[in-house]
């Protein structure tokens, strides 16, 4: 498909789907407050009832936006997620409860939808979406919503939506901030025009590592659900070529505009998005374009980060840990995590090795710049069970000061 020009990006799309059957008296009563909205009415409600929406992720964003899709009257909602509910999810993934811990998230979220509107059809896809299965799934849907928490899935969702010729509503959250946008190649630029190159894995924090304010999930999820309603019904102006960003600390929001990249290569197939984002590939071998992409990305191993809270939980649970301090002796003399081994980064680069052991090796420094490099170096040397402490001893001291020696 040819790139979209700035002039084309200004074209306002009409309703995505034709209206479904007339509303029953019960459905008119249920959606009465929505039906009276200016420019909405019964035709828009019937379009929602006929719409088929696939949502990636049943976590922070999915558990916020899916109930609003059901409440708005979307007739069919597919939910794709292979994860189970954990206790640490509950502070922000409010469609799940204590009784759901250990259950599949798709099952828990489907129960939430059934409690809102039993007539809403939920299709459960308890699987990890990949280049091998997403396009086949999209054949049954009109619109894709990406509530994932990682860049490989975001690029996968974008490219699959382009190839399927359907709109994509995407959102992202981290700490106190969130973003919402719409990618629709027929009418405007896509996610790749906004982010042509994925960030280095070293620069990416997940919610597990960086934290997230629960209410930002609700805020961004509600905005994403609103975009779905607008696109399906043709009411309002979708976020095409625009991104809404929110900062809950300041209470401010702003809009970023962008255009399609005129000379961007066409998307003709789905690739290995783990490799594209600089992560280890899940496949045993790459061929063709994927092999070239792997070579271009360097296919280097990237260390995983663990949070201070996770380390503290492991310590209190009695799990063996090998804490490796890669700062200088003068820094360690001021404060260090109890029981840690000191091995300055310069010595490690020169060939020194940490004491041998079978426990998880947790590398830390003052924040995490040196520890990331040290962890990668240890991985390259064949140490398999190596992670770095996100935020370093600074972050650790804020949650476990009693374990910091001074």
**Active site members:** 207, 365
CA pair distance 383, 353, nearest whole angstrom: 10
The candidate with the shortest Cα–Cα distance to 227, out of 284, 168, 159, 178, is: 168
Q: Strand, coil or helix: what is 48?
A: helix
Q: How many helices and strands in the chain, by DSSP H and E?
A: 18, 15
CA pair distance 230, 91, nearest whole angstrom: 29
Task: Compute the Cα dihedral for 216, 220, 225, 230 and give only its sign.
Answer: positive
Residue 315 parent element (H or E)? helix 308-316
CA pair distance 330, 338, nearest whole angstrom: 16
CA pair distance 309, 176, nearest whole angstrom: 18
Q: Which residues contact 38 (CB under 8 A, 6 or more apart)?
A: none
CA pair distance 83, 104, nearest whole angstrom: 6
Q: Which residues contact 84 (CB under 8 A, 6 or more apart)?
A: 102, 103, 104, 105
The candidate with the shortest Cα–Cα distance to 377, out of 392, 391, 361, is: 361
Residue 174 parent element (H or E)? strand 168-174
Alpha-carbon distances, residue 304 vs 40, 307, 361, 387 (angstroms): 48, 10, 11, 5
CA pair distance 151, 83, nearest whole angstrom: 17
| Residue 344 tokens, joined | 């300055």
């Amino acid at each position: 498909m040819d790139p979209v020009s700035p002039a084309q990006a200004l074209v306002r799309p009409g309703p995505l789907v034709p209206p479904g059957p007339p509303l029953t008296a019960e459905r008119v009563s249920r959606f009465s407050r929505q039906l009276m909205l200016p420019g909405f009415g019964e035709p828009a409600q019937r379009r929602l009832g006929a719409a088929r929406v696939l949502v990636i992720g049943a976590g922070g964003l999915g558990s916020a936006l899916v109930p609003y899709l059901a409440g708005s009257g979307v007739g069919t909602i597919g939910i794709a997620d292979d994860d189970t509910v954990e206790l640490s999810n509950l502070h922000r993934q409010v469609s799940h409860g204590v009784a759901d811990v250990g259950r599949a998230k798709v099952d828990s979220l489907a129960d939430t939808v059934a409690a809102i509107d039993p007539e809403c059809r939920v299709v459960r896809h308890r699987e990890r979406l990949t280049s091998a299965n997403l396009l086949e799934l999209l054949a049954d849907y009109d619109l894709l919503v990406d509530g994932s928490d990682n860049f490989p899935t975001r690029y996968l969702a974008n490219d699959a939506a382009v190839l399927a010729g359907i709109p994509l509503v995407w959102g992202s959250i981290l700490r106190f901030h969130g973003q919402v946008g719409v990618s629709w190649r027929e009418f405007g630029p896509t996610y790749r025009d906004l982010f042509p190159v994925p960030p280095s894995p070293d620069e990416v924090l997940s919610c597990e590592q960086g934290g997230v304010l629960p209410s930002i999930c609700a805020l961004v999820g509600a905005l994403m659900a609103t975009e779905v309603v607008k696109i399906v019904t043709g009411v309002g102006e979708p976020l095409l070529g625009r991104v809404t960003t929110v900062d809950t600390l300041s209470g401010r929001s702003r809009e970023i505009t962008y255009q399609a990249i005129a000379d961007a290569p066409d998307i003709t197939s789905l690739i290995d998005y783990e490799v594209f984002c600089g992560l280890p590939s899940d496949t045993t071998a790459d061929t063709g374009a994927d092999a070239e992409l792997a070579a271009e990305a360097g296919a280097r191993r990237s260390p995983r980060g663990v949070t201070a809270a996770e380390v503290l939980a492991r310590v209190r649970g009695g799990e063996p840990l090998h804490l490796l301090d890669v700062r200088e002796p003068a820094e360690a003399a001021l404060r260090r995590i109890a029981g840690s081994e000191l091995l300055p980064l310069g010595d490690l680069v020169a060939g020194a090795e940490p004491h041998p052991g079978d426990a998880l090796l947790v590398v830390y420094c003052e924040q995490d710049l040196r520890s990331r490099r040290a962890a990668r170096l240890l991985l390259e040397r064949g140490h398999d069970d190596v992670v770095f402490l996100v935020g370093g001893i600074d972050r650790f001291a804020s949650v476990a000061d009693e374990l910091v020696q001074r």
